Structure 1
Amino acid sequence: MQPNPSPALYITGLGSQYPPYLLGPRDLDQLAGRFCDLNRPGIKKLLQVNRSTGIETRSAILPYESGFATQPDPPSISEIDQFFRQAGVDLTVQACQKALKEANIAPEQITHTVGVTCTNQGNPGYDFLVARQLKLPLNVDRTLLHGVGCAGGLSILRAAAQIAGGASLRRKPARILAFACELCTPNVRHYLSMAEISVDSDRANIAAALFSDAAAAFVLCNEYALAQDEQVTPQFELLEWGCDLVPDTAEHMTFYADISGYQATLHREIPKYTKHAIGPIFDKLLPLYEEQVRSRLRPDQQPVTPLGIHDFDWALHPGGKAIIDGVADVLQLSEAQLQASREIYRTRGNSSSASVLIVLDRLRLESKKAHVVAASFGPGLAVEMAFLKNCHINQS
């Protein structure tokens, strides 16, 4: 018996926005030299990592010659909050406008928003400010996720899918604008201060060498919305998704507000855990994805042959070179399958929750495969995964 298809969910528009500045490893070296004792073990470790990340440039909302980077003391949480609620909101709005334009959907048609960030914790949430600046309807249904960190880009995809699926059960259209924004570089001064006081180089915080700034957005529509919007062209059909936790790793990746600034923890064994966690969730979701692909075949189409890892292009969160290399090694992925992830990491760094969506945005312009899997990792350690069918490639 052929399975019943799940509600039809489509990404109809994608948009990503980087700020205008690019910082190389030498820029962080020079910043540290202005404010820190370079002989301290924590600073030595941080700058050693800075030169070996494989990141050539990181996107930044401001250069290190202006703003927080020039102050005698690291910025306070209050200063960072105020800055995000202007600069971060503006960056997010730009990404959203790109997604709305591609989706051919006007702001007043949006029924829901789903937002995420880990670099702002204000109330009302920054999603309220984004909605107001975009002039979304006053009754738009807003959801703002918290606590998911780098996994957030796919967390909002999962949440949007569940909302859109619920609307389908009620036979109502859903046009969901989802977005992620992170401003990480304003925290660099604090990371340098923490590294300077660290007496154990193995415990030195390396976040200053990895993270960058960016925003990304997408529009997700259900079949009832597409039935009303004849000019909307789907980019991807979202067919399956899931999440999991790696046991006994809750303290390996953390990010929280402290009285002196944002504190980040990145355990050296994260790449080991992520590379071994990604195979099991892929194997669990793949048969479910194949069922959904089969259920959507027309009578005149050929049956779906069994799919494997190499039938997919991968939008992998570029959390670090060791993470990308570890996943590639354990799953035996080709360089072509991870080209978009590696390129974003090399040229822009790790923009936390926005990164995986930016990789997906880039991948759909380059992919030659009909099937795409997106994966990201976050605090917990959490693993998020989504399976999508490329609507522009006519094969099963």
Structure 2
Amino acid sequence: MPLHQYNERKAPGLWIVGLGTQFPENLLRPEELELFARKHYDAKSGGLRKLLAINRKTGIETRSSVLDLKTGFAAPSEPPTISDIDSHFRDVGVKLAVQACEKALREAGLSPEDITHTVAVTCTNQGNPGYDFLVNERLGLSPNVDRTLLHGVGCAGGLATMRAAAQMALAGTARRRPVRVLAFACELCTLNVRNELAAAEASLPEDVCVAAALFSDAAAAFVLTNDLGRGAAEAVYEVCAFDNAVLPGTKHHMSYLIDPFGFRTVLSKAVPILTTQTVVSMFDRLVTEYAAYTGKMLLVPDNFDWALHPGGDAIIKGVQDLMSLTDEQLGASKKIYRTRGNASSAAVLIVLDELRGMGKGKDDVVAMSFGPGLSIEMAMLRRCRAKPLVDEII
């Protein structure tokens, strides 16, 4: 297609005008988890021995956590119940989410009364009313805000909120209404550490789940507007294309289900291989749409920085090898994985926030995450560069 025909297609007018990340104060090291596991469980059991061996070589140096593993929640001899975990999330998790949202609103230059919609996600709390109701209430949002809480999307949730927010903004454009969506994700995965360790103790080595060694806690938020709702706000990213898909016949490879002592994760060894199977086809499909909006021809993976969900070292390496990416293109994902671990749905948003502070980088960005289903979410964004000052030009 000739370049002038690409330029005839108008971009959707979707702008991320604020981003915010909030981590809890604790950073857990692999050796701390090992000491904790040996204190409460039989480290001679085959399953737990295998988990602790994996814990030493995940490539994670520290994980953000609301726990310190020495005192307080989860430290007593009796493990917390699912009811305890729910109560703790609705206190600590809501506070983290509010702090992330406040950061995003400040950067956007917006007040709570400016927000027209909210989209939230978590997989570590399932109560009703949803935790988003509590966050909206503490932020002082209008009771008339259009509120949506996503469920069942797991680690794919961060980009699922972006997709939902973008669709809401486009609907507002069609109705000639300004839309300003506050989207947020919050996960307190480490509250389930006792349940995950108990499961490992009872497992055969070949069946052990690595969740206790990977997952972390954090909240992240962004504000997305349409053209009518943007006003004078400086944009961080322009959202140009997005999509999602499910890989049929794979739902048994990843799940996150409730039992009396918390949530329990299922992650099969096949997940890193399976999650990469849809990457090429989705990239090829979206890059055509992205080119139509940006006028950039012959785009290939090397033209983009990649905000990849830091789901595990094998997933990061698998996508890197498949798409022939450099360490620099995946720099933000690798850094967050190494220093903060996998914060589930919040993680990819944290990577996008981190990416913009890591030097000039590339103008074009692919964001990608995976979740139960197995599902894949992908978005293509364009960095919005600040205009240079006159004396900088001179």
Same-fold call, TM cutoff 0.5: yes
How many percent identity over aligned positions?
52
Choose which of 208, 213, 223 in structure 1 pairs with 2:212.
Answer: 208
Q: What does the per-residue CA deviation read over 1:76-117, in whole Å, with 9 as the maximum and x for residues that have no partner?
A: 111000000010000000100100000001111000000000
2:124 aligned residue (95, 114, 119): 119
Measure how far apart 1:353 and its partner are.
0.2
Compute the displacement of 1:259 (Å). Answer: 2.8
Aligned length: 381
Q: Distance in 2 between matches of 1:236 and 1:70?
A: 42
Match runs of 1:1-396 below 5 Å: 1-2=5-6, 3-198=8-203, 200-226=204-230, 229-230=231-232, 232-294=233-295, 304-366=296-358, 367-392=360-385
**Paired letter, 1:333:** L
CA–CA distance in structure 1, aligned partners of residues 84 and 320 of structure 2: 40
| TM superposition shift of 1:393 | 7.0
* Cα distance between partner residues in 1 of 2:252 and 2:270: 11
Matched-pair contact (CA < 8 Å) for 1:371–1:389: yes
- Structure 2 CA distance for aligned equivalents of residues 393 and 260 of structure 1: 49
The CA deviation string for residues 326-359 of structure 1, in whole angstroms up to 9 with x for no partner, is: 0000110011000100000000000000000000
Displacement after TM superposition at 1:69 (Å): 2.7
Q: What is the rounded CA distance, in whole Å, between the counterparts of 2:286 and 2:9 in structure 1?
A: 17
Does the 8 Å CA contact 1:15/1:218 hold for their aligned counterparts? Answer: yes
Q: Give, in whole Å, the separation in 2 of the partners of 1:368 and 1:193.
A: 43
Cα distance in structure 1, aligned partners of 2:209 and 2:366: 31
Contact 2:364 2:383 in 1 (8 A): yes
| C-alpha contact 1:58 1:348 (8 A) present in aligned 2 | yes
Tell me how far 1:276 sits from its aligned partner.
2.6
Structure 1 residue 4 displacement after superposition? 3.4
The letter of the residue matching 2:18 is G
The answer as to whether partners of 1:276 and 1:330 remain within 8 angstroms in 2 is: no
Q: Distance in 1 between matches of 2:381 and 2:202?
A: 46
The 8 Å contact of residues 93 and 186 in structure 2, kept in 1 or not, is answered as yes
Secondary structure at the aligned position of 1:68 is classed as coil
Residue 301 of structure 1 corresponds to none
SS in 2 for 1:257: strand
Q: Hey, what's the Cα distance between the residues in 1 that align with 2:225 and 2:27?
A: 34
Kindly indicate whether the alpha-carbon contact (under 8 Å) linking 1:24 and 1:56 is maintained by their aligned counterparts in 2.
yes
Quick one: which amino acid aligns to residue 234 of structure 1?
A
Q: Tell me if structure 2 keeps the 8 A contact 1:256–1:264.
A: yes
How far apart, CA to CA, are the structure 1 residues paired with 2:56 and 2:346?
Answer: 24
TM-score between both structures, scaled by the size of structure 1? 0.94
Deviation at 1:50, TM superposition (A): 0.4
Amino acid at match of 1:20: E
Q: Which runs of 5+ in 2 are unaligned?
A: 388-394
Alpha carbons 1:31, 1:69 under 8 Å: kept: no
Unaligned runs of 5+ in 1: 295-303
Residue 11 of structure 2 contacts residue 294 of structure 2 at CA under 8 Å; is this kept in 1?
no
Which residue number in structure 2 is paired with residue 297 of structure 1?
none
| Alignment RMSD | 1.1
Equivalent pair of 1:368/1:393 in contact (CA under 8 Å): no
Query: 1:9·1:220 contact (CA, 8 Å) conserved in 2?
Result: yes
Residue aligned with 2:251, SS: coil
Amino acid at match of 1:215: A
After TM superposition, give the deviation of residue 6 of structure 1 in Å.
4.5
Give the distance between the partners of 2:41 and 2:67, measured in 1 at CA. Answer: 20
SS of alignment partner, residue 337 of structure 1: coil
Which whole-Å CA distance do the structure 2 matches of 1:84 and 1:69 have between them? 13
Does structure 2 conserve the Cα–Cα contact (< 8 Å) formed by 1:24 and 1:58? yes
Please tell me whether the aligned partners of residues 369 and 393 of structure 1 are also in contact (alpha carbons under 8 angstroms): no
Q: For each residue in 1:251-297, what CA deviation from the matched residue of structure 2 results, as whole angstroms up to 9, or x when unmatched?
A: 11100112332111000011111223211110111001100113xxx
CA contact (8 A) 1:370 1:393 kept: no
User: 3-state DSSP class of the match of 2:49?
Assistant: helix
* Aligned residue in 1 for 2:391: none
